[in-house]
Amino acid sequence: MANSKHWIEPHPQGIYVRPADVWIDPSGAQPRAVVTHGHADHARGGHGQVWATRETLAIMGLRYGTDAGTALRYGETMEEGGVTFSLHSAGHVLGSAQILMEYQGERVVVTGDYKRRPDPTCAPFELVPCDIFITEATFGLPVFTHPPIAGEIGKLFDRLEAEPERCVLVGAYALGKAQRVIAELRAAGWDEPVYLHGALEKMCRLYEDLGVDLGMLRSVADTPKEEMAGKIVLCPPSALTDRWSRRLPNPVTAMASGWMRVRGRARQRNVELPLIISDHADWNELTSTIADLSPRETWITHGSEDGLLRWCELTQRKARALAMVGRGEEDDG
């Protein structure tokens, strides 16, 4: 694939835009890079020149200490080597963007990661017509349909009510998922403080600095055990069964992830209360987006590409899978 004649070249380590000499979401340091969003499998430190949204640059700054970068607003264009770039909201996490490129009359969109459900912490997905649609496929199998989030938040409240002497500990990724869960709790009327594992605090503060209101947040480290009974605590998934959780009042372990759709996955992680909450498009969103856009070609970057590829075949759409490495590692659904 690397020797494809097209002006966009998929490589295992990223997508290379030859006429502009720019990489999209490269997995290693490159002189010139456009970054779709702040998750570590898309945004790496050490690039020379970086273009991204203001929010993505701020997230990268927090994570890698890189403050250099050129901020682009959604819809704003720039030109490099005859290619016109613009960023369009992807609805995945705060600052996430699809990248539209136009070159010699051909339009190519790279989605990065995206979802089409409403999310109070980021701008909604924008449908960008194109000739070549380069999509993710994290949940590219028909078993993955995410239920409405209100029902999942309701499950969490039900459990709190049933066992008020325990707390519910929700494993949620530090960037995006944690803030979305908090914002959805607020939208559902939860005005108690939400307690945070230390690893989530900085990112939540950054979200607030960037204008996302998360209500009252407290640090688990500063809170006596008894105070957290009947409350909601958030931590990164890795801390769910860690020694850290011993300081909580008999936690119900919950996990917010699209993978929680599958019982075996939840059991593997020792999760008692699986919450099917995802920042990615589910099967219906993936397929309906391709149907809505009807691109000339669909390229699939990462995830269950076989499933989506098969769907394209069944619906007689031209499609190919790109072999990309290391994607889908950080946010994991």
What are the structure tokens assigned to 163, written together? 């066992």
Q: Is the dihedral of CA 128, 304, 179, 149 positive or negative?
A: positive
Verify binding: residue 245, another protein, rule CB under 8 A. Answer: yes
Tokens 């590409």 correspond to: 305
Tell me the residue ranges of DSSP E strands in the chain: 8-11, 14-17, 22-24, 32-34, 49-52, 70-71, 77-80, 83-89, 97-103, 106-110, 132-137, 168-171, 194-196, 217-219, 232-235, 252-256, 273-275, 297-303, 319-321
For residue 198, the tally of other CB atoms under 10 A from its CB is: 13
Verify binding: residue 270, another protein, rule CB under 8 A. Answer: yes
Verify binding: residue 273, another protein, rule CB under 8 A. Answer: yes
Verify binding: residue 42, another protein, rule CB under 8 A. Answer: no
Size of the chain in residues: 333
Window of 4-12, 169-177, 230-238, 261-269 that interacts with another protein by CB under 8 A: 261-269
Least Å distance between CB 243 and another protein?
A: 5
Among 242, 294, 323, 329, binds another protein (CB under 8 A): 242
Verify binding: residue 266, another protein, rule CB under 8 A. Answer: yes
Among 76, 192, 292, 306, binds another protein (CB under 8 A): 306
Verify binding: residue 332, another protein, rule CB under 8 A. Answer: no
Among 99, 1, 29, 92, CA closest to 324: 1
Q: What are the backbone angles phi and psi of residue 193, rounded to the nearest 5°?
A: -60, 150
Verify binding: residue 84, another protein, rule CB under 8 A. Answer: no
Least Å distance between CB 333 and another protein?
A: 13
Q: Would you list the DSSP string of 64-126?
A: H-----EE--BT-EEEETTEEEEEEE-SSSTT-EEEEEEETTEEEEE--S---S--TTSPPP-
**Which letter does DSSP use for residue 28 in this model?**
S
**Which letter does DSSP use for residue 148 in this model?**
P
Window of 85-93, 97-105, 114-122, 264-272 that interacts with another protein by CB under 8 A: 264-272
For residue 77, the tally of other CB atoms under 10 A from its CB is: 12
Among 6, 202, 225, 263, binds another protein (CB under 8 A): 263
Shorter beta-carbon distance to another protein: residue 106 or 272: 272
Tokens 């008999």 correspond to: 250
Least Å distance between CB 314 and another protein?
A: 6
Window of 7-15, 101-109, 143-151, 187-195 that interacts with another protein by CB under 8 A: 143-151
The radius of gyration of the chain from alpha carbons, rounded to an integer in Å, stands at: 20
Among 34, 100, 271, 300, binds another protein (CB under 8 A): 271
Verify binding: residue 253, another protein, rule CB under 8 A. Answer: yes
Verify binding: residue 145, another protein, rule CB under 8 A. Answer: yes
Shorter beta-carbon distance to another protein: residue 66 or 241: 241
Shorter beta-carbon distance to another protein: residue 81 or 198: 198
Residues at the interface with another protein (CB under 8 A): 141-145, 147, 241-243, 245-246, 253, 261-264, 266-267, 270-274, 304, 306-307, 310-311, 314
